[in-house]
Structure 1
Amino acid sequence: MSVSSPGASIVPVDRHSSEPLWAQVQSDIERRLHTGEFHHSFPGEMALVDQYGVSRHTVRKALRRLRESGMVEASRGRSPKVADNEIAQPQGALYSLFASVESAGHQQRSIVRALDTRADGTVATRLGLEESTPLIYLERIRLSDDEPLAMDRVWLPARIAAPLLDADFAQTSLYAELDTRCDVRLTGGREQVRAVMPTPAERLLLEIPDGVAALAIERTGELRGRPVEWRQTVVRGDRFSLVTDVSRPDQPSVTVFNRVPAHPPKEAS
């Protein structure tokens, strides 16, 4: 029999349910978090053991999943606490690009080429995971006014991103769906932008004229310092510009250009 603390509204675990005990505890703690019950303080491991009448191992597994989702902060030797929700989602250049497309009055949508679960040893290693770890893979062609602008590929661990398989990414943001469906909000990361010559397939899909380069954007998204997203994006070099104001280097701006004709008309003689 579980013992609850004063004022707590605990849903007891159902030992006859097919759902694991740790998952039931995790779900109920999430519910309590959303009600604001832990606004002032979060119970320690032993208090949760007492409240739910489960083992410490069960509580630790539930807290680990909550930590992975970014809802709770917990580490060895320290009491768990509610994560600071004031940390803003960093927006890198690519996502500012898509925001600029809409704010400039252009229509944007995506062609989803792939959305599935797969294993990729190279990406898993980048994320600090075992090579056989299941990953959610999303590949899209991003369009501006129905003209190809970028090819976007992203991998995330299936253990936190599996609900994304039910999302329609034709006209929605990955991070919005990750927040809504998985209750995961990235807290940081690293992004590298470099000039590349697109592959023949990328040139064809993005309708990049011969001789025109592209920009490759590689991003590692992090959740509380742990890598959980690996993204590769190829953007048309003739339709994209990244500008940084040296007085505000943390706020880069981007510009989306209209399509540049492959063969500009000759001036009249």
Structure 2
Amino acid sequence: MTDANGPAEAGTPDLGTAWRRIADELAGSIGKGEYAAGDILPAATALAERYGVHRHTVRQAFRHLAEQGLVTVSRGRGTQVSTRRVPYPLGRRVSMRANLGRIGMVGSSAVLSEAEVEGEPETCEDLGLEPGAALWRLEGLSLADGTPMGTGTHWLSVARFPDFDRAYRTAEGSMTAALKAFGITDYVRLSTRLTARLASEREAALLQIEPGAPVMVSVAIDALPDLTPIHLVSSVFAGERMEMVVEPFGEDVR
């Protein structure tokens, strides 16, 4: 008998069910605490030898566990038992580092790129600017306890925020700290639009997830307290690591 993974091994059950048996046994071990959060599971080759199956069968079991949120399959790190999803409140005020601090995690950022660009009409409209206005396009990576959680692309007016690229880098990718350099100590979230899709090759590499893994996409506009828009950010979050929590009464999250 054969399947998409290759010929079935003599004396083994149908490979169509073998991956499920492996997944169930690994899930049971995780549930009993034999593998703790953050532990790396044995490699596919080692498990394939243990169970007498092809390594692709084991990888199918890993994919199933990842879909259940039990593990994270990462490039260069192997298959890791998942920690709890990080809650990300969506209220009138949003700060990644503050949110993480409230649950005992350390938030940090890395600057990926900085450029001055001609703004696209839709982006300029969202920021209350004329089409083609000069914009800062800044890209950063957000981490929780050193694990990549999301990557974001920020747009701000060059005229309003001269040398913002320097402030952003000095602030080590913290938008809140960079805005404080321009005297803005308070800003509010005007809107957040959420969608979902599969990760691109580059996004997967940045977030240390598998290409094609599910990601959440957030497009948000921030404004001064008088509701003047100042900042647009498009973020891509690793779906298996984050959960969005909608604040129904607009509570401040700062």
Q: TM-score normalised to the size of structure 1?
A: 0.51
Counterparts of 1:204-223 in structure 2, within 5 Å, are 204-210=205-211, 212-223=213-224
Which residue number corresponds to residue 197 of structure 1?
Answer: 198
3-state DSSP of counterpart to 1:91: coil
Share of identical aligned residues, percent?
21
Residue type of the alignment partner of 2:242? F
Which residue number corresponds to residue 152 of structure 1?
Answer: 152
Q: 1:205 to 1:170 in 2, by over 3 A?
A: farther
CA deviation after TM superposition for structure 1 residue 201, in Å = 1.6
CA deviation after TM superposition for structure 1 residue 196, in Å = 2.0
Which residue number corresponds to residue 143 of structure 1?
Answer: 143
Residue type of the alignment partner of 2:112? R
Q: 1:181 to 1:170 in 2, by over 3 A?
A: closer
CA deviation after TM superposition for structure 1 residue 209, in Å = 2.9
Which residue number corresponds to residue 114 of structure 1?
Answer: 113
Q: 1:197 to 1:252 in 2, by over 3 A?
A: farther
3-state DSSP of counterpart to 1:178: helix
3-state DSSP of counterpart to 1:181: coil
Counterparts of 1:49-88 in structure 2, within 5 Å, are none
3-state DSSP of counterpart to 1:109: strand
| CA–CA distance in structure 2, aligned partners of residues 189 and 206 of structure 1 | 27
Residue type of the alignment partner of 1:235? F
Q: 1:147 to 1:185 in 2, by over 3 A?
A: same
CA deviation after TM superposition for structure 1 residue 210, in Å = 5.0
Higher relative contact order (CA 8 A, sep 6+): 2
| Alpha-carbon contact 1:109-1:170 (below 8 Å) kept | no
Q: Please give the per-residue CA displacement for 1:174-209, whole angstroms capped at 9, x wherever unaligned.
A: 123212334474344111122222222212211123
Residue type of the alignment partner of 2:232? W
Residue type of the alignment partner of 2:229? P
| CA–CA distance in structure 2, aligned partners of residues 153 and 174 of structure 1 | 11
Residue type of the alignment partner of 1:214? V
Residue type of the alignment partner of 2:106? Q
| Alpha-carbon contact 1:186-1:222 (below 8 Å) kept | yes
Which residue number corresponds to residue 132 of structure 2?
Answer: 132
Residue type of the alignment partner of 2:97? F
CA RMSD in angstroms, aligned pairs only? 2.8
CA deviation after TM superposition for structure 1 residue 149, in Å = 0.9
Residue type of the alignment partner of 1:108? G
| CA–CA distance in structure 1, aligned partners of residues 128 and 184 of structure 2 | 21
| CA–CA distance in structure 1, aligned partners of residues 202 and 163 of structure 2 | 30
Residue type of the alignment partner of 1:197? L
Higher strand share: 2
Q: Which runs of 5+ in 2 are unaligned?
A: 1-90
| CA–CA distance in structure 2, aligned partners of residues 144 and 159 of structure 1 | 33
Q: Please give the per-residue CA displacement for 1:28-71, whole angstroms capped at 9, x wherever unaligned.
A: xxxxxxxxxxxxxxxxxxxxxxxxxxxxxxxxxxxxxxxxxxxx
Q: TM-score normalised to the size of structure 2?
A: 0.54
| CA–CA distance in structure 2, aligned partners of residues 117 and 212 of structure 1 | 31
Q: 1:203 to 1:172 in 2, by over 3 A?
A: closer
| CA–CA distance in structure 1, aligned partners of residues 132 and 104 of structure 2 | 43
3-state DSSP of counterpart to 2:250: coil
| Alpha-carbon contact 1:196-1:216 (below 8 Å) kept | yes
Residue type of the alignment partner of 1:106? M
| CA–CA distance in structure 2, aligned partners of residues 186 and 252 of structure 1 | 11
Residue type of the alignment partner of 2:200? T
Which residue number corresponds to residue 229 of structure 2?
Answer: 227
| Alpha-carbon contact 2:93-2:189 (below 8 Å) kept | no
